[in-house]
């Protein structure tokens, strides 16, 4: 073995590559795959790993081997290595192989991009707006009307076209479970497509450093059955709210207003606030199960529409959206306040 350092290096390299590739494929790198786009992207990632690991191992073993084999020994301090002249064949090989690798991988990646960006017939258009530090969504409806909400609700298996806007600085709309991500840039509209394939709740994340509240600029996408989605839309447009899969408030004496307000709460506030009565468990803002106790209706209303006027201890101003008076209808806010007041009692 000693006499065949190159053979030794090849064996070590092959074993290290095999271990590296096996590890790369065994490790579960990604969250749930909840959209059609996830499959091709995950496969692309696996292929990149399979190709990259041997390249990394080759560079690392040659470097380590050379450092060990050709290291300076005592007495060689003043010596120089032998002069090196070009080696055309070697240079052609080490230029051609990486060039072929890069061109193939780029072509493959381009094909995947083309595939996941394919325009599908009859997409659901959802306008996404990023602003410091919250996401809001607008669903255009027939007759020029629109649903404005801070909850992203999507029907399963329907292609969605997100049109992304920014109010203030650059944000980045990212749904890790869909594997899609696009910058939200002030002044322009960017687009990204996804077709949800799994029911459930998945995080929406801001992936561009945008200020103090960047880390809490999160939201949730809820993928529901087409029937539940239609019910949600009907509830939103009617201003009263049959729940998308939820039940109505069971509290004794709650008015119809408050029952509707509970749905407004779970859709718009639940991803940030925990409230036992509504069954929500968000942790961005104060836990309302305790914070609400004893608050009167006027204070609650003010906390909803002007959240920075009175920020709870331990929380930053500017994190809770200050525009609920615009994104929710007057009836929705009345319902929400009535509901919260009924819980506070
Ligand atoms: Cu918005 Cu980070």
**Would you say residue 15 lies in a domain?**
yes
Question: Whole-angstrom Cα distance, residue 241 to residue 312?
Answer: 29
Residues 4 and 106 in one domain: yes
CATH number reported for the structural domain that contains residue 345 in this entry: 1.10.760.10
Residues 21 and 109 in one domain: yes
**Would you say residue 73 lies in a domain?**
no
Cα-to-centroid distance, 167 and ligand 1 (Å)? 11
User: Which atom of ligand 1 has the smallest separation from the CA of 208?
Assistant: 2
Residues 151 and 214 in one domain: yes
Number of domains in the chain: 3
Provide the pairing of β-strand 124-131 with 134-140: antiparallel
Residues with CB under 6 A from ligand 1: 130, 133, 171, 206, 208-210, 214, 217
User: Which atom of ligand 1 has the smallest separation from the CA of 169?
Assistant: 1
Q: Find out whether 181 and 211 touch, Cβ atoms under 8 Å.
A: no
Residues 153 and 262 in one domain: no
Question: Whole-angstrom Cα distance, residue 261 to residue 270?
Answer: 12
**Would you say residue 12 lies in a domain?**
yes
For residue 231, pLDDT beyond 60: yes
**Would you say residue 85 lies in a domain?**
no
Strand partners, 249: none
**Would you say residue 90 lies in a domain?**
no
Cα-to-centroid distance, 262 and ligand 1 (Å)? 28
Residue 186 CB coordination number (10 Å): 13
Residues 259 and 174 in one domain: no
**Would you say residue 92 lies in a domain?**
no
- Mark which of 190, 221, 252 sits at the end of a domain: 221
Nearest-CA residue for ligand 1 atom 1 is 171
What pLDDT, on the 0 to 100 scale, is given for residue 161?
Answer: 96
Cα-to-centroid distance, 207 and ligand 1 (Å)? 6
Cα-to-centroid distance, 155 and ligand 1 (Å)? 26
Residues 248 and 340 in one domain: yes
What pLDDT, on the 0 to 100 scale, is given for residue 269?
Answer: 83
**Domain range for 48:** 1-66+97-118
Residues 301 and 263 in one domain: yes
3-state helix, strand, coil in the chain (%, to 5): 45, 20, 35
Residues 247 and 325 in one domain: yes
List the end-to-end C-alpha distance of the chain, in Å, as a whole number: 82
User: Which atom of ligand 1 has the smallest separation from the CA of 214?
Assistant: 2
Residues 216 and 124 in one domain: yes
Residues 136 and 181 in one domain: yes
Residues 216 and 244 in one domain: no
pLDDT, one tens digit per residue, over 93-129 is 999 999 999 999 999 999 999 999 999 888 999 999 9
User: Which atom of ligand 1 has the smallest separation from the CA of 215?
Assistant: 2
**Would you say residue 82 lies in a domain?**
no
Q: Considering the chain, what is the average pLDDT of its residues?
A: 86
pLDDT, one tens digit per residue, over 240-299 is 444 444 444 333 444 567 778 888 887 778 777 888 888 787 777 888 888 888 888 888
**Would you say residue 71 lies in a domain?**
no
Residues 146 and 255 in one domain: no
């Amino acid at each position: 073995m000693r006499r065949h350092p190159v053979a030794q290096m090849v064996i070590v390299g092959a074993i290290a590559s095999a271990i590296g590739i096996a590890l790369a494929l065994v490790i579960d790198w990604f969250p749930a795959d909840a959209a059609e786009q996830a499959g091709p992207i995950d496969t692309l990632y696996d292929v990149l790993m399979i190709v990259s690991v041997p390249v990394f191992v080759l560079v690392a073993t040659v470097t380590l081997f050379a450092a060990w084999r050709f290291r300076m020994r005592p007495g060689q301090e003043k010596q120089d290595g032998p002069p090196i002249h070009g080696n055309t064949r070697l240079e052609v090989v080490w230029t051609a192989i990486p060039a072929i690798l890069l061109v193939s991988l780029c072509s493959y990646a381009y094909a995947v991009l083309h595939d996941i960006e394919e325009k599908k017939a009859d997409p659901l258009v959802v306008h996404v707006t990023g602003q410091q530090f919250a996401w809001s969504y607008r669903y255009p409806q027939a007759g020029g009307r629109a649903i404005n909400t801070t909850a992203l609700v999507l029907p399963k298996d329907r292609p969605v076209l997100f049109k992304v806007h920014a109010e203030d600085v650059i944000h980045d709309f990212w749904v890790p479970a869909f594997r899609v991500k696009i910058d939200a840039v002030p002044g322009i509209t960017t687009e990204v497509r996804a077709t949800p394939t799994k029911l459930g709740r998945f995080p929406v994340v801001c992936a561009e450093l945008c200020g103090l509240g960047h880390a809490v600029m999160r939201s949730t996408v809820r993928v529901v059955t087409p029937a539940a989605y239609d019910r949600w839309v009907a509830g939103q447009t009617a201003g009263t709210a049959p729940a998308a899969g939820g039940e109505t408030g069971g509290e004794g004496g709650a008015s119809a207003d408050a029952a509707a307000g509970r749905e407004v709460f779970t859709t718009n506030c639940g991803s940030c606030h925990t409230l036992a009565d509504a069954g929500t468990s968000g942790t961005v803002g104060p836990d309302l199960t305790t914070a609400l106790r004893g608050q009167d209706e006027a204070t609650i209303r003010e906390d909803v529409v002007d959240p920075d006027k009175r920020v709870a201890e331990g929380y930053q101003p500017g994190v809770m959206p200050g525009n609920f008076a615009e994104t929710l209808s007057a009836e929705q806010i009345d319902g929400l306040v009535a509901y919260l007041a009924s819980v506070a009692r």
